[in-house]
Amino acid sequence: MTAPPEVTGSAADADPEAALQGMPKKAIQGRSLGQIAWLRLKRDKVAIAGAIVIALLILVAIAALLLDRVFDVVHPNEFHQDLIDTQNGTLAPLGTFGGMSGAHPLGIEPVNGRDILARIFAGSWISLLIATLATVLSVIIGTTMGIIAGFFGGWVDTLISRLMDVFLAFPLLVFAMALVGVLPDTAFGLSPEMVRIGLLIFIIGFFNWPYIGRIVRGQTLSLREREFVDAARSLGARGPYILFRELLPNLVAPILVYATLLIPTNILFESALSFLGVGINAPTATWGGMLSDASRFYTMPHFMLWPGLAIFVTVLAFNLFGDGLRDALDPRAR
Amino acid sequence: MSTKTETGAANRRLGEDLLVATDLQKHFPIRRGLLQRQVGAVQAVDGLTFTVKRGETLSLVGESGCGKTTTGRLLTRLIEPTGGTITLDGRDITHLSSGAMRPLRRDIQMIFQDPYGSLNPRHTVGAIIGAPFRLQKVKTEHGVKRAVQDLLELVGLSPEHYNRYPHEFSGGQRQRIGIARTLALRPKVIVADEPVSALDVSIQAQVVNLMEDLQNEFDLTYVMIAHDLSVVRHVSDRVAVMYLGKIMEIADRTSLYERPMHPYTVALLSAVPIPDTSRRDNRERIRLTGDVPSPINPPSGCRFHTRCWKAQDLCKTTEPPLVELSAGHQAACHFPENTTKLTIDPTGAAGSAA
């Protein structure tokens, strides 16, 4: 391009034809809306920062899963009673800042002296796994129900919409506590821990689908009135073709955005359940469980700092990335 | 803009009836309350009878809400008629199931009004124009891609646009893409729902001329839905004027524009702008007062009597039938206007068209 960059930039925004005239011949390959969204996302520094943090968190979680469960080098449940102040009866860690030292960079817990960094590290994969898989479950159920309700309308729409109302009005926390008390510890030959993880994924995912469902239903309602649906129909397209080839590609963007924004909500919900003691069982390290443990030592609130910070950073990163994604995919919503 | 030669129009008029609508009706039910009981109906289309002959262009004109678009959707069977029959090439398609209709869709296609809404933003131009081949399982000699590129060239776009997306094109170019998709199956009839009304005036002429060229090349039959009387005059062989779901007048273009019989047509034509200022003063501008009545509860008798300056008691009680008042010129009015003398000068281009 020979024109000054700022001139070509504004011309490209205003009129794709004008910009194309200056381009070399090979640039005829079109940019899909996805590619354009990616270009837009790349310019959003905050969203990219969020994405980098998320990528790091995922790497940390995978590393934690491998190091803790496969190679067993993390020892999140190892007691360090020798570092606890048993003389004065406070049961607080010896040393300054909650027992920070070279061996325990974030200090140790009161009473039993477990290493906080090891527990945060070991707890990371559980939080992310539960939040992600629960979100996947919500997206699958929500998209299916929403698209059916929006596309078919009539009594099907009424039925599904009322069902969504029931789910949204459901006292989820109470239900979760009751369910966890009733169900057996082991099932299908899985360990109690795995059963509990599966149960949490099911509870969180199964009761959150109406949020995705409503958005998908609304989008489908407006999309099915667009003329390209009539055009497909006038060419003889069947229902499934219209649903999967015409409507679904237009729904990917909102689904992706709300899935990204649902993950932090699910992380918080899993933490809340663990905090209330109906999440993952006691010895296993989780961020919510660590907060719960720390809350018993209200005279030493700094033990809440580290798990709280972990949850805060993770939720913030997902929210910033989700917001950026929404702006990139739908610039009109700003 | 070049107008059609009279000989060309005369040759087409010899064609047989390709698309016939008989007493076509579409009532949209209005449902209220808990049990969704039907409390009324929007009589969008209420008894249309017309024929479209092979190779001709029939235009449906009228104000917004008169049922033009509904008629187009009925003809392409996008919506189910409430009553009447539609016959395409001798076959009754009124209540065919979507499965039975599918093979017949190759013969009747539709051009849509909004070039921004009629193309899926997530599909490439190649996928959009190739969709008819895939959906109808049409085998093409050199593959779908080649067929699509041929179509692109046919409508005046570059074959290299194959991989690009609709948002990269202007309104006129998008409408060309829509036309290419319509042509893919080589239909006999194309229903064009206001194909140029969403476009810039300078682009309108290009698209209209493209449609005329394609009509000559592929022997197409058009049902053109429009409200711009200047465009209609340019493209049509015959014109049907609609008001509140009924046909008020249907005639040859020349006959309708120069000797309009229905008062509604007279009023419509008097509203067409005249570019030549010196001729403007000679024309009487008829202003219709009031709004179009609601199609939920249309007026008794003649539907136009509430706004007609010639209305008498007869018009309020008896509905005038659509009758042939002169050769090929039908009107539904008890007191038709000039059958001989010319009271208004329809448009500035009248001389060249006659």
Q: By percentage, how much of chain B surpasses pLDDT 70?
A: 90
Task: Count other C-beta atoms under 10 Å from residue A249's C-beta.
Answer: 15
The alpha carbon dihedral of B308, B314, B317, B323 has a sign of negative
Query: Distance (Å) from the C-alpha of residue B213 to the closest C-alpha of chain A?
Result: 23
Helix (H, G, I), strand (E, B) or coil at B262: coil
What pLDDT is attached to residue A133? Answer: 92
Residue among B6, B9, B77 at smallest CA distance from B215: B9
A228 with B168: Cβ contact below 8 A: no
Q: Which residues of B touch A (CB under 8 A)?
A: 73, 76, 78, 98, 101-103, 105, 109-110, 112-114, 117-125, 131-132, 135-136, 160-161, 163-165, 167-170, 178, 181, 185
Average pLDDT over all residues of chain B: 83
Which pLDDT belongs to residue B325?
83
What pLDDT score does B282 carry? 65
pLDDT tens track for B276-288: 777 666 667 777 7
Say if residue B1's pLDDT is above 50.
Answer: no
Instruction: Quote the CA–CA distance of B330 and B50 in Å, as a whole number.
Output: 10
User: How far A3 CA sits from the closest chain B CA (Å)?
Assistant: 21
pLDDT for position A147: 92
Kindly report, residue by residue over A277-307, the tens digit of the pLDDT: 777 777 778 887 787 777 777 666 677 888 8
Q: Does the CA dihedral B249-B251-B253-B254 come out positive or negative? A: negative
Domain membership flag for residue A298: yes
Query: What residues contact A5, with CB distance under 8 A and at least 6 apart?
Result: none
Mean pLDDT score, A208-214: 90
Nearest Cβ partner of B114 from A28, A227, A236? A227
Cα gap A139→A159, rounded to integer Å: 19
User: Please, are residues A85 and A91 in contact by the beta-carbon 8 Å criterion?
Assistant: yes
pTM of the model: 0.76
pLDDT of the residue at A5: 41
Q: Please state, in angstroms and rounded to a whole number, the distance separating the CA atoms of residues A118 and A112.
A: 14
Question: Binning pLDDT at 50, 70 and 90, where does residue B64 land?
Answer: confident
> What is the maximum alpha-carbon separation in chain A?
85
> Which helix (H) or strand (E) is A227 found in, with range?
helix A227-234
Report the number of distinct structural domains present in chain A. 1
Band of pLDDT at residue A136, cut at 50, 70 and 90: very high
Give the pLDDT band of residue A108 (cuts 50, 70, 90). Answer: confident
- As a whole number, mean pLDDT of residues B292-303 equals 86
Tokens 């369910």, residue located: A179
pLDDT of residue A290: 81
Alpha helices (H) along A67-186: 116-152, 154-169, 172-182
| Cα gap A316→A310, rounded to integer Å | 10
Is A236 a member of any domain? Answer: yes
Looking at chain A from residue 232 to 251, which residues have their Cβ under 8 Å from any Cβ of chain B?
232-238, 241, 246, 249-250
Q: Could A30 and B163 be called an inter-chain contact, meaning their C-beta atoms sit closer than 8 Å?
A: yes
The pLDDT value given to residue B349: 39
Within 13 A of A22's CA, how many CA atoms are on the CB side?
14
**What pLDDT, on the 0 to 100 scale, is given for residue A143?**
92
pLDDT at res. B238:
93
User: Is residue A168, in this structure, part of any structural domain at all?
Assistant: yes
Q: What average pLDDT score do residues A237-243 get? A: 87
Q: Which two tokens stand for residue B204?
A: 């309108």
Instruction: Tell me which chain B residues have a C-beta less than 8 angstroms from the C-beta of A228.
Output: 117-120
Residue B38 has pLDDT above 60, yes or no: yes
Provide, as residue numbers in chain A, all residues whose Cβ is less than 8 Å from the Cβ of B181. Answer: 231, 235
Q: Which CATH superfamily is domain B17-31+41-107+187-353 in?
A: P-loop containing nucleotide triphosphate hydrolases (3.40.50.300)
* Dihedral over alpha carbons A200, A204, A207, A212 (to 10 degrees): -150
% of chain A residues with pLDDT over 70: 73
Region of residue B219 (phi > 0: left; psi between -120 and 50: alpha; otherwise: beta): left
Taking CB atoms and an 8 Å limit, are A231 and B110 in contact across chains? yes
Q: Is A172 left (phi over 0), alpha (psi -120 to 50) or beta?
A: alpha
Task: Using CA coordinates, name the residue in chain B closest to A32.
Answer: B165
Could you give the ipTM of this predicted complex? 0.81
Across the range A88-108, mean pLDDT stands at 66
Q: Are A204 and A270 spatial neighbours (Cβ–Cβ below 8 Å)? A: yes
Q: How many helices (H) and strands (E) does chain B have?
A: 13, 12
Quote the crossing angle between the two packed helices A192-223 and A172-182, to the nearest 10°. Answer: 150
Considering only the beta carbons, identify the residue of A226, A236, A250 that sits closest to B102: A236
In a domain, A155, yes or no: yes
What ranges do the domains of chain B cover?
17-31+41-107+187-353, 118-186
Q: Residues B238-276: pLDDT tens digits?
A: 999 999 989 999 999 988 888 888 999 988 888 877 777
Give yes or no for A32 touching B (CB within 8 A): yes
B-chain residues within 8 Å CB-CB of A251? none
Beta strands of chain B (E only): which ranges?
17-32, 37-53, 57-61, 83-88, 91-92, 108-111, 189-193, 221-226, 238-243, 246-252, 323-326, 329-331
Residue B90 near residue B171, CB atoms below 8 Å: no
pLDDT at residue B300 is higher than 80: yes
% of chain A residues with pLDDT over 90: 11
Find the CATH number of the domain harbouring A164.
1.10.3720.10
> B109: distance to nearest CA of chain A, Å?
7
Sequence-ordered list of residues with C-beta below 8 angstroms from that of A61, at least 6 positions apart, any chain: A124, A125, A127, A128, A129
Please tell me the predicted confidence (pLDDT) of residue A274: 82
| Residue B181: C-alpha distances to residues A331, B164, B175 (Å) | 29, 15, 10
CA distance B19 to B50: 8
Reduced to 3 states, what is the DSSP secondary structure of residue B286?
coil
Q: How far apart are CA B22 and CA B48, in angstroms?
A: 6
User: In chain B, which residues have their Cβ closer than 8 Å to the Cβ of A18?
Assistant: none
B300-320 burial: b if 16+ Cβ within 10 Å, else e: ebbbbbbbbeebeeebeeebb
Residue B335 has pLDDT above 60, yes or no: yes
Question: In chain A, what residues touch B124 (CB-CB under 8 Å)?
Answer: 30, 32
Please compute the mean of the pLDDT values over residues A1-17 and round it to a whole number.
41
Q: What is the pLDDT of residue B249?
A: 92
d(CA B295, CA B279): 37
Range of the domain at A285: 52-57+123-333
